[in-house]
Structure 1
Amino acid sequence: MKTMFFNKEIFIKKYHFFIIVLFCFIFSSKAQQNDSNANLPQLSNEEIRDSIFTLLKSTRTPNAFITVVKKDSVLFDLDFPNSSENEKFALGSISKTFTALAILKLVDEKKLSLEDHLNEIAPEIDFDNKWESTHPVKIKHLLTHRSGFDDIHISSLIQKRNLKMNASDEVKTFKNSYVSNWQPGLVHSYSNPGYVILGYIIEKISGISYQEFIKNEILIPLEMHNSDYLSRINTSEIIQGFQIRKNVVENVSNPKMIGESAGGLVSTQRDMAKFLQFFINKSKQDSLNIISSSLIAKMQTLQSEFEIFNNINSGYSLGMYDRYFGADKSNFKGHNGSIDGFSSDFIFNPELNLGIAVSRNLFQTSNSKILNLLVDNFAKYDTLIESNQKDLETKLINIDEWAGSYKMLNGNNELIHFINAPAHILKLTKSGQNILVKRFLGNTEVYEWVKENHFQDKHGRSIFLCEFDGEKILSLNEDTLVKTTPFFHYSNLFFLALSLITGIFLTIVFLIQLVSIFFNTKAKKLSYLTFLVILPFWLIVASVILYLSNSTYHDLDNLGNISLTSAAIFTFTLFYPLVLVLGGFSLFKKWGTLKKSIIKIGYIITFFSISYLVFYCVTYGWFAIRLWNY
């Protein structure tokens, strides 16, 4: 293969005029783009207000607060009828940004380090990490959701906070979640219990409660006098929250949660305006001295070795993550929050001198349309200094080394991962300087080369070709994928498809046999054999249907407590392997009585294909599921 070497000096001498013209063209194009962005049709505040009310009405939102700020003033507030700027809303996971600030306050005071190991800082917390000797769980892993821990399990999620609970009790509530499913630092997997641990660490090191520490060290310095935590205020002070259930808007009881460091903050429109201004106003950061401005900058940068080593430039940093809004998909930092009766967001961009906070008292509702509207009308793109110029010396990574099939690592505590695991497969191939991605039963997606190991599709979704411990890995929109063997994958798909087809076919045969009993009593023995062979298939299907039909947030009590539903799922998932053995024994015993070869072949194919389905489900943990203890 012919190798070409690049000599920068010769290139510049020979093509210096062309380079100058090219740079001027790029710069002028960018300037024109900024001018066009800056000159997007601007709505008046009254028109913006009308547009927002239309959006809120379309989702049947009863109330909301919205504030748009720059570093030294408020640009826009939503004046909702019959409400005030000091109306209290529960902000859910936005609390994590305050928790991260508190941790960094301890770091600033040299009482803690982001590199500290959890087993050294809090050895009293039981957790399981089989890679602890080589990849220990660190404080920064908890902050960035890369500890590998599960999210809240069902039995813990339905529990209500006891007012006598201390931080240690809260940590123990989520003990089932503290298992690292992957090497810490590798996979981003959202974990509320990780932030509950951080709240405990704040209490342990500071000597006061988490809530008191946040109040004294963050809320009071920021003059957020109307903000506090759910456990410290009268529930009547919070605006009534709502949810849509069965297409009806209904009241929900005021939220009470275990582990307020993960989602217990309550705040107001005016207070969130002050919080936003803190992040976009460096002089305010310096004067308040909550934490150093260098640590505030660190909050906004990715921290895991995996991301840094592989040049990943977008993801979850310290209590906040990258978010993209507006017609130009401008990059903001921020967080969202969802808790009983409320849906909230905040975003900010210091370069754009813009911060936005939105909260509505309607559960599980997206604020994206409102945020896009506000960004398009208030972002001054001409103030953003940005370069899209590609480094002439940027080197394309060797794509061939990453070509092949990949599987996505499991999401957080996903009990029914065995259902979607076969679909979480993609194939990566090279096409010139670009890569092609073919998902299972999906269209081929083209990702164009951006820089080094970074590729992007026409929708702005990024894929990074990465390495970890010598293995080739893909990072696709924060999903982590590892190489898999195509033969194993397609063999698995074949046998799963066969088990479903034979299961459905034998179910139809059984129904026909039941009907034929009325006309031929000899068919009774054969229908009994059919029943035993097909029963494991029915039990698996029934257990999955029961789980899925009760897994919405509103119905979790049926799963998290001992109920007819959870007891049935446990019974079905306990007995289907046992029934398989019974069916195999009966088939062996009746084998000699089966006269026709075609019937024997049908039974044996069905039995072995359903055996594979049983083995597959048990391997993925769908066995003897005790949801009340999960």
Structure 2
Amino acid sequence: MFQKILSLSLSLFLVLFLLNIAYAKSDIHIESQINNTLENENIVGLSWSTISNGHIEVGSAGYANISTFEPMTPAQKMHVGSVTKSVLAMGVLHLIFEERLTLDTNVESLLSELNFDNAWSDRSPIKVKNLLDHTSGLDNIRMWQLLSTKPLPNTPLEEAFESSQHNLLKIRTEPGTQYSYSNMGYTLLAMVIEAVTNERYEYFLDVNLLTPLEMHDSSFAFISQRGQFADPLLAMGYYENNVAQSAVPSYLRPAGQFTTTAPDMAKFMMFVLGDGKVNGEGFVRPEHMNMLTEPLGTEAHIAGLNIGHGLAFAKRDRHNVLGMCHPGTTFGFRAYICLFPDENKGFFYATNTDNETTDYEKFNKLFINRLSLTPAKITEPMGKGVELSRLQGIYLPSPNNMAEFEFIDMLFNFIWLEQSNDHLLIKSLQNADRQLLQINESLFRDVHRTQASHVVYSNEESRVFISDGLKTFQKASGITLVLYWVSLIFGLIGLIYILLIGVIRIFKRDKDGLRRIKWVFINLALFSLPIYLYANQSFLKFGDITAASICLAFLSGLLPITLLFSLWISLRGKLQSKLIKLDIASFMMSIQFCLVLAAWGQIPIIFWQ
């Protein structure tokens, strides 16, 4: 009997020993992969946590601060950008659990001091759920709200919505019908919290959300690496080429101001994967936990697409698995959280480098492989659908992400659909072609996805749309777009001609020729001044009223005037000369483009409103 027990014990010890060796090798393997990725992608440091059936792992790699050679640790505090929204959303859902709010609370009435411009307010006022799932129809952000040195850590939230900005809260699509990411929307959510609690939203969430979740090293309060609000545990942020960037306050801080650690985010993931209870007591309603990633009520969802954004996360189909995820970007930091409820797994990571050329998707794939997630079942075609030739054509962003750049997005971020045998191709100027397989009459699947990824639908006005649940495009006239491009090309040709011929006439001392173009030539040459001023000021002042921005606004507003004046001078002279005719043609080409820009509100160029 003793020998059997001894033999069984030795066998069990051997199994555990081998498992520990395998586990250690696995840890070494993932650390090696992360370190290689950091080096290859020029990332300074990274901290992460994973959860698998209640088992938590945390880790780190690289540096928290290059200048002091401080190594990154799992307990390092990191800024997480828009991952903040998923955490803040749980605080709002807790207020709903406490019956101090509802998903259908009318935000326009609650925040009546703001100048909402909602053409659908009678039938579709903005509700709390519209802010949570980004279906409010609000614009995303304005440059002055993002890049400004004016806001302080305690600046009242209402200053992000100045009453003088009459079109700031203009609703661009009927609330509830269409997804359009909005940082303004989550700032309004924080104002809703303050309106119903009579407390600063940071304090309320720290006490009533983070404390119950035992996230003691996290906070919604402003924390920086230097100055009055310095925290020695906060990693330094970096851009390309290891350019350091300290944290700065923001007008829209509720949308991206949250400091946390990898272990704390593991606790948050545990809660989200649970049933909405904390220590056995209700905290968020179970039905709302089931809606965290469900895109309910949008036109794309009604048309059959089950990919989109819910009350706190977006459903993401990548690397053959389906997750509920949210990315985050802020000054010098990037972060990502992704959960897989069916398997009770998830991962979070934060990096103290915001590098535009880095392929952060490599980290997502690495952690997905680490968790050994089960591949999603691929959705196959289910029958004959709509004739693909009917869908071919040009599609414009509807709406685009930022209203002040609508004209630019129309010119450069449109897509066009082409039929390729029995497939549909999405083409664009910005990205590689995407091949879509037809699932049924309205649904399509990207060949690199497992689920239906796009839906085509029509509204009451018979306008045709294509949506991936997060971006929507409306079919438009190709002729109109071509005319805008012709206007752009001719306008640029005219302005370049004026600049070049002006330089030539100066060197040739052609006084008569220079007389015709000198005012517009001087106007164009002076644009070098705001370029110089912008290059020598902090990018954080881009949305402020500075010498650079005033100069740019003045010169751009003056340009149509100097063009018209130069045209008038030229028309007064003898028109037999070919040079005079060329001058007149260049003025007219430039003027027509200025008129188009003015019609779209692009002249004068102003970023502080």
The verdict on a shared fold, with TM-score over 0.5 as the criterion, is: yes
Map of 1:614 onto structure 2: 594
Matches within 5 A, 1:28-107: 44-59=26-41, 61-75=43-57, 77-78=59-60, 84-107=73-96
**In the alignment, is residue 261 of structure 1 matched against residue 241 of structure 2?**
no
- Identify the range of structure 1 (341-350 vs 485-494) with the bigger mean alpha-carbon deviation: 485-494
State the shift of 1:96 in Å. 0.7
State the shift of 1:514 in Å. 2.4
1:272 to 265, 268, 273: 265
CA 1:566–1:413 in 2, change beyond 3 Å: closer, same or farther? same
**In the alignment, is residue 513 of structure 1 matched against residue 493 of structure 2?**
no
CA deviation map 1:293-329 (0-9, x unaligned): 221110111134223212222222222213344xx33
Letter in 2 for 1:68: T
Distance 2:445 2:529 in 1: 40
1:434 to 423, 426, 433: 423
8 Å CA contact retained: 2:315, 2:325: yes
2:441 to 431, 452, 474: 452
CA 1:50–1:235 in 2, change beyond 3 Å: closer, same or farther? same
State the shift of 1:79 in Å. 7.1
Map of 2:369 onto structure 1: 376
- Identify the range of structure 1 (163-172 vs 574-583) with the bigger mean alpha-carbon deviation: 163-172
CA deviation map 1:268-298 (0-9, x unaligned): 2221111112222348679342112221110
Q: Tell me the SS of whatever aligns to 2:93.
A: helix
1:121 to 95, 104, 110: 110
CA 1:214–1:500 in 2, change beyond 3 Å: closer, same or farther? same
Distance 1:508 1:170 in 2: 43
8 Å CA contact retained: 2:45, 2:60: no
Matches within 5 A, 1:277-292: 277-282=270-275, 287-292=280-285
8 Å CA contact retained: 1:141, 1:304: no
Distance 1:186 1:265 in 2: 29
**In the alignment, is residue 293 of structure 1 matched against residue 286 of structure 2?**
yes
Map of 1:485 onto structure 2: 477
8 Å CA contact retained: 2:34, 2:61: no
Letter in 2 for 1:144: D
**In the alignment, is residue 566 of structure 1 matched against residue 549 of structure 2?**
yes
State the shift of 1:235 in Å. 2.7
2:514 to 514, 527, 540: 527
Question: What is the CA RMSD across the aligned residues, in angstroms?
Answer: 3.5
Q: Tell me the SS of whatever aligns to 1:451.
A: coil
Letter in 2 for 1:118: V
Matches within 5 A, 1:138-537: 138-157=127-146, 158-159=148-149, 161-162=151-152, 164-169=154-159, 172=162, 177-231=168-222, 235-244=230-239, 247-250=241-244, 252-282=245-275, 287-325=280-318, 328-364=319-355, 367-381=360-374, 387-388=377-378, 390=380, 392=382, 396-399=385-388, 401-409=390-398, 411-413=400-402, 415-430=404-419, 433-439=422-428, 446-460=435-449, 462-470=453-461, 471-476=463-468, 478-517=470-509, 523-532=510-519
CA 1:91–1:280 in 2, change beyond 3 Å: closer, same or farther? same
State the shift of 1:224 in Å. 1.6
- Identify the range of structure 1 (337-346 vs 154-163) with the bigger mean alpha-carbon deviation: 154-163
**In the alignment, is residue 594 of structure 1 matched against residue 594 of structure 2?**
no
- Identify the range of structure 1 (74-83 vs 264-273) with the bigger mean alpha-carbon deviation: 74-83
CA 1:286–1:174 in 2, change beyond 3 Å: closer, same or farther? farther
8 Å CA contact retained: 2:50, 2:58: yes
CA 1:156–1:75 in 2, change beyond 3 Å: closer, same or farther? closer
Distance 2:154 2:530 in 1: 38
Matches within 5 A, 1:530-545: 530-532=517-519
Letter in 1 for 2:594: V
1:555 to 510, 524, 539: 539
State the shift of 1:538 in Å. 6.3
Matches within 5 A, 1:2-41: none
Instruction: Please state which structure has a larger fraction of its residues in helix.
Output: 1
State the shift of 1:549 in Å. 6.1
CA deviation map 1:104-161 (0-9, x unaligned): 2233344333333322232222222334345433322222223332333333332455
CA deviation map 1:393-413 (0-9, x unaligned): x56235455443322245333
CA deviation map 1:400-459 (0-9, x unaligned): 554433222453336455445323333334456432444469986542212331223334
8 Å CA contact retained: 2:388, 2:419: yes
Percent identical among aligned pairs is 21
8 Å CA contact retained: 2:83, 2:328: yes
Q: Tell me the SS of whatever aligns to 2:213.
A: coil
State the shift of 1:378 in Å. 1.8
Letter in 2 for 1:320: F
CA 1:330–1:43 in 2, change beyond 3 Å: closer, same or farther? farther
Distance 1:543 1:182 in 2: 39
CA 1:472–1:169 in 2, change beyond 3 Å: closer, same or farther? same
Structure 1 stretches lacking a partner, 5+ long: 1-41, 518-522
Letter in 2 for 1:230: A
Structure 2 stretches lacking a partner, 5+ long: 1-23, 63-69
TM-score by length of 1: 0.80
CA 1:549–1:616 in 2, change beyond 3 Å: closer, same or farther? farther
TM-score by length of 2: 0.82
8 Å CA contact retained: 1:96, 1:262: yes
